[in-house]
A and B are shown apart, each in its own frame.
Chain A
Amino acid sequence: MKPERRLRPPWLAKRIFHFYCDDPLKEEIAGDLEERFLDHLEAYGPQKARQKYWFNVLKFFRWHTLKRRRSNRYTQNNIAMFKNYFKIAFRNALKQKAYTFINLSGLAVGLTSFILIMLYVQHQLSYDNFHEHKDRIFRVTDGEDAITPNIVGPFVSRNFQDEVEESVRVIVMGSQIFNIGEKSFTANVYHADSAFFSMFTFPFIQGNETTALAQPNSMVISRKAALQHFGREDVMNEAFQMSGRNYKITGVMADIPQNSLLKFDYMVPFNDLRWAVRETWSNSSYHTFLKLADQVDPLVLEKKIASKINETFEIPDDSPDAEVVYLQSFNDIYLQSKMRLSYEIGRTGDIKYVYIFFAVAILILLIACINYVNLSTSRSLERAKEVGIRKVVGAYRGQLIYQFLGESFLFVFGSLLLSLGLSWSLLPYFNELAGVVMDASFLLNTEFLLTLAALGVLISLLSGFYPALMLSMFRPVSVLKGNFKNSAKGGQLRKALVIFQFAISAFLLVATLGVNKQLNFIQNKNLGYDRDQVLFFRINRDLYTNYQTLKNELLNNPNISGVSMASNTPLNVGSAHGIQTGPTEEDYELIYFINVDKDFMDLMGMNILAGRSFKELANPFNELDTTGRVPSFIINETTAALFNWNAEEAVGQKINISGIEAPVQAVVQDFHFKSMQQKIEPFVLMCSPNQFFYTMVKIGNENVSETLDFIGEQVQAVAPRLPFDYRFLDDRFENMYRFESQLSDVFITFATIAIIIASMGMFGLISFMAVNRAREMGIRKVLGANVMHVVMLLSRDFLKLVGIALLLAMPIAYYVMGDWLTDYEYRTSLGLGVGMLAVVSALLITMLTIGYQALKTGLVSPSKVLRNE
């Protein structure tokens, strides 16, 4: 029995003393204080004694009694203790193999995901960093299109000699035909002004950077191309033909780095493009790059350039027709944080997805950390005895905290090592998944390793701190007496963490299903034409001349149902005229166009709503002849809607395209000629035969490879120097949405990983819970509960948690995914289906995870678990 309150020392003073006093001194001083109190109690009575106790406590508040971080007073042999910590950690790890496996593999998989995603993020952020002058390179744009008229470069150079050191125009010419000796192939070619290699950093292994493009008919090729076509790097002055012209190699570049926006293997002087040399404001097809002098503010310069252009055209700066100029930093182009431009020069990334991936990496890591916290705290019962004994033989709480933190360090760094190995071996698969090429040397980067080590420390603290705090808190008396129970508080936190884990998983699940649904929507949407089994290839003059022969030969083959020529494929049309929409010439809109022959629309399965097809009448554009023939225009529904006509009304109405007036010959049903992110715009089909660059062939489903061989032979027969580099329309179509399909793949992968880790955590939890509640279940069974009751009882708690997680995650996921979908002009809606699917799969996964353990507990005979009573 404790003495009555006034015969005991004041508790507040005691608390204060324990708060400030250094651990090693606590015991002896507290003892002295108490003894002294009893002396005083006998001598002066309780009131005086308590007062004196207060004074003593306050007087002991001295420098040497204060708590300090590294007290080396009265310490024992620590090394032996550390050895014991390690030993106990390993013994525990081995004793609980399932637990150790879940923890280690969960952390390792989480960390591997994190490392791989971080590599990806780093790779994206490193784009174009290798250019020496990157901070001074800017591209001239009008804020909508990446391309500018060819006069802009020279114009700016002439007028702003102080600010602009160099200007370079670049144009990418697709599918040019090359001939080297007997070999022929097609490839994309860059044309650029001669300063290109002094502006951008692409080091040469042969030749001179500054003079390589100075002479006409010279060409710089990459090391890769040299090895491919000549089998060696030393190819200076070798000759070959491109598009019928003779070229000489004047330089060989080292291979273009993976993280370069500009990707090319062949580079020729800009001035070799005869049709592009004449400077004009009306031909926009060129990327204009400027290298600014030091300390030039691009924001000031862009205003000056705009004013100068307006001055030339005599437009006041404040008129709505005034030109605007934006100087886009070269650093911004790849991730395009500021603007999204049409006619981009290469494949770009998106800073948004870099953020999203980063967030996913963090979330996965969090799930893995939560596993650690949950499993450690739920296992606390098993470590409680150890803690009790350690405290009894003299461990301070601080030491115990260090011990348990140390264990989490062991775990985390163990799995960090494991995950480095995993990342190394999984990198090739990840590259394929994300559509990037990163090599493993990134992993050995010192900075990266240091960051990882720092991360390891952070995770260890994050996941080890709470368990360490909780485990070290146990009171030896209650633990060792044997009536120790898990604290309800820890249970609450555990529940909250499980909810959080499953909310993340459910969110990722919905996101995955959403991305997937949109992707399916795009791929199955009716484009307005039939893209299946259509192949296309570039043509040259030989083929153009002999086209009729080729066509007849091809159509003799029963597996070929259509042959046609056109200026472009309908997949991604980029050329436009202007169509007059009002009384004056200023009222015009851009109208996209392609030139096609009379078989094209049949072959593509395009639907004429009203009017006559090109088969009945085909007058070429721009060739008004003396008999007064006017060009045939077949417009799409969107164009007709510009004038508020329906299809029937539109036919015969006069429209004016690029200054030529003619009646509408027919209206074609709208079809998608750009990405689904953009809406369908005005479009016109025309039929100028001198504008045909591609042949399209529609083939049957059977004997595809023989049919392809057959086409190849026929092409060879009429155009021996033309390489038969064909592609399929639907492949190209898939390619357009490669980013989305990669996004979907990456999401599926990491959402699966997140769910697996979370389920493993739940499996661990239910196992321990089943052990803890084994006796309760035994008693329930003795009293008449059946297996089903027990299973339900054990599952109910978890299903409740998962239910709450779903309730939390669904609205957020729906909101975020809805927002993402607004990027697409043509989009699916998430609908209830996605949510239902996510809910059902989450519940199913939960049931599967816990069902086994619950069932096992339910089936155990009560006598087994109650025997020890």
Chain B
Amino acid sequence: MEKKYYLGEFEETVLLVTASQNGEAYGLSITKVIEEELGRSVNMSSVHTALYRLEEKGFVKSDLGGASERRGGRRKRFFEVTQMGKAALMEAKTQRQYLWSKMPDYLFQGGES
């Protein structure tokens, strides 16, 4: 199976969170999800870096908006997954499922047998 898209592990996570937030994702919101829901400690700056790289690769697109008092009147950069991003996520998912499907049954049932 040929791999068309290259996604790092962290990039994949960020991309997944972005996709899950349905157009409302921005640097801090993604950081919060990763920290609070996935329980993984992460730097805000790493998330931003990942987002910009994803954007360079064409997996997300962005737009400015949603200024609020809490941000000192500054706008957020909202990220949205592109078709290519979706394709990349699909591919990653398919590859994993393929690998899971090849998994010998006894490997994860050893405790039971």
Contact surface of A with B, Cβ cutoff 8 Å: 27-36, 38, 56, 59-60, 62, 64-65
Q: B75: nearest residue on chain A (CB-CB)?
A: A27
Does any Cβ of A come within 8 Å of B86's Cβ? Answer: no
Q: Knowing A27-B75, A28-B76 are in contact, say whether A34-B70 is a contact too (CB < 8 A).
A: yes
On chain B, the residues within 8 Å of A36 by CB distance are: 28, 31, 44
Pair B28/A32 contact, Cβ less than 8 Å: yes
B45–A56 contact, CB under 8 A? yes
With A27-B64, A27-B74: A32-B52 Cβ-Cβ less than 8 Å: no
Contact B72 A59 (CB under 8 A): no
* Bound complex: CA A36 to CA B74 (Å): 13
Interface majority SS on A: helix, strand, loop or mixed? helix
User: Which of B43, B48, B74, B77 has a CB less than 8 Å from the CB of A34?
Assistant: B74
Please, which residues of chain A bring their CB within 8 A of the CB of B20?
none
- Contact A29–B72 (Cβ < 8 Å): no
Additional pairs, 7, CB under 8 Å, beyond known A27-B75, A28-B64, A35-B70: A27-B74, A35-B68, A36-B31, A60-B44, A62-B45, A62-B49, A64-B49
**Distance to closest chain A CB from B69 (angstroms):** 10
**A34 touching B27, Cβ below 8 Å:** no
B26 within 8 A of A: yes
Q: List chain A residues, Cβ under 8 A from B68.
A: 35
- Interchain CB contact under 8 A, B49 and A28: no
The answer to whether A59 and B28 touch across the interface, beta carbons within 8 angstroms, is no
B102 at the interface (CB under 8 A from A): no
A-B contact pairs, 19 of them (CB 8 A): A27-B64, A28-B27, A28-B74, A28-B76, A31-B67, A31-B75, A32-B26, A32-B27, A32-B48, A33-B44, A34-B71, A34-B72, A34-B74, A35-B28, A38-B70, A56-B43, A62-B49, A64-B49, A65-B45
* Cβ–Cβ contact A59 & B26, under 8 A: no
Select from chain A the residue with minimum beta-carbon distance to B77: A28
Q: Among B49, B67, B70, B71, which residue has the most Cβ atoms of chain A within 10 A?
A: B71
Indicate whether A59 sits within 8 Å of B74 (C-beta atoms), given known contacts A28-B64, A32-B27: no
Q: Are B72 and A60 neighbours in the complex by a CB distance under 8 Å?
A: no
Give the top 3 A-B pairs by smallest Cβ distance, nearest first: A31-B74, A31-B71, A28-B77
Q: A34 to B74: give the CA distance in the assembly, Å.
A: 9
Residues of A within 8 A of B45 (CB): 56, 59-60, 62, 65
Q: Which residues of A are found within 8 Å of B43, using beta-carbon distances?
A: 56, 59
A182 to chain B, nearest CB (A): 95
Q: A36-B28, A36-B44 are in contact. Are A31 and B49 (CB under 8 A)?
A: no
In the complex, what distance in Å separates the CA atom of A240 from the CA atom of B108? 126
The answer to whether B72 touches A30, judged by C-beta atoms less than 8 angstroms apart, is yes
- A-chain residues with CB within 8 Å of residue B67 when the two chains form the complex: 31
A56 vs B47: C-alpha distance when bound (angstroms): 12
Supposing A36-B28, A59-B43 touch, asked if A31 and B48 sit within 8 A by C-beta, the answer is no
Closest approach, in angstroms, between the C-beta of B112 and any C-beta of chain A?
A: 43
A28 / chain B contacts, CB cutoff of 8 Å: 26-27, 64, 74-77
A394 shortest CB reach to chain B, Å: 10
Question: Do residues B49 and A35 form an inter-chain contact, with CB atoms below 8 A?
Answer: no
Q: Are A60 and B71 in contact (CB under 8 A)?
A: no
- CA of A36 to CA of B77 in the docked complex: distance in angstroms? 15
Nearest to A28 among chain B residues (CB) is: B77
Q: Is the CB of A64 within 8 A of B52?
A: yes
List of A residues within 8 angstroms of B49 by Cβ: 62, 64
Cα A316 to Cα B88 in complex, Å, equals 100
Note all chain B residues with C-beta closer than 8 A to A30: 72, 74
What's the nearest-Cβ distance from chain A to residue B10, in Å?
A: 15
Contact string against A for B residues 42-57, beta-carbon threshold 8 Å, 1 for contact and 0 otherwise? 0111101100100000
Assuming A36-B28, A64-B52, is B72 touching A31 (CB within 8 A)? yes
Complex-state Cα separation, A262 to B74, whole angstroms: 77
Cα-based distance from A188 to B111 in the complex (angstroms): 124
Minimal beta-carbon separation of A233 from chain B (angstroms):
75
Say yes or no: A31 contacts B76, CB within 8 Å: yes
Shortest distance between the CB of B92 and any CB in chain A (Å): 24
Centre residue among B28, B45, B48, B71 by max chain A CB count within 10 A: B45
The distance in angstroms between the C-alpha atoms of A56 and B68, with both chains bound, is 20
Tell me the bound Cα distance from A124 to B56 in angstroms: 60
Residues of B within 8 A of A31 (CB): 67, 71-72, 74-76
A29 and B48 contact, CB distance less than 8 A: yes
CA distance in complex: A32, B68 (Å): 11
Q: Is the pair B75, A59 in contact by a Cβ cutoff of 8 Å? A: no
> Which residues in B have their C-beta under 8 angstroms from that of A29?
27, 48
Complex Cα distance, B26 from A56, in Å, reads: 16
Closest chain-B Cβ to A447's Cβ sits at a distance in Å of 46
A58 (CB) vs chain B CBs: closest residue: B45
Q: Which residue of B lies closest to A26 (CB)?
A: B74
A27 CA to B52 CA, complexed, in Å: 15
CA distance A31 to B26 in the complex (A): 11
Known contacts A59-B43, A62-B45; is-contact A32 B76 (Cβ 8 Å): yes
Set of chain A residues within 8 Å of B77, measured between Cβ atoms: 28
Question: B83-110, CB under 8 A of A: which get 1 and which 0?
Answer: 0000000000000000000000000000
Residue of B nearest to A29 (CB): B48
Q: Given the complex, which residues of A lie within 8 Å of B46, measured CB to CB?
A: 59
Which of B28, B31, B52 has most chain A Cβ within 10 Å?
B28
Q: Given the complex of chains A and B, what is the CA–CA distance between A33 and B74 in angstroms?
A: 11
Structural contact, B48 and A60, CB atoms closer than 8 A: yes
User: How many angstroms from the CA of A303 to the CA of B48 in the assembled complex?
Assistant: 79
**Within the complex, what minimum Cβ distance (angstroms) separates B31 from chain A?**
8
| Chain B proximity of A347: nearest CB distance (Å) | 71
Minimum C-beta distance from A2 to chain B (A): 11
In the assembled complex, the Cα of A27 lies from the Cα of B76 at a distance in Å of 8
Complex Cα gap A33–B68 (Å): 13
How far apart sit A261 and B65, CA to CA, in the bound complex (Å)?
Answer: 76
Within the complex, the shortest CB–CB distance from A67 to chain B, in Å, comes to: 15
**Closest Cβ of chain B: how far from A76's Cβ, in Å?**
11
CA distance A33 to B76 in the complex (A): 11
CB <8 Å contact, A59 and B44:
yes
Contacts of B28 in A (CB 8 A): 32, 35-36
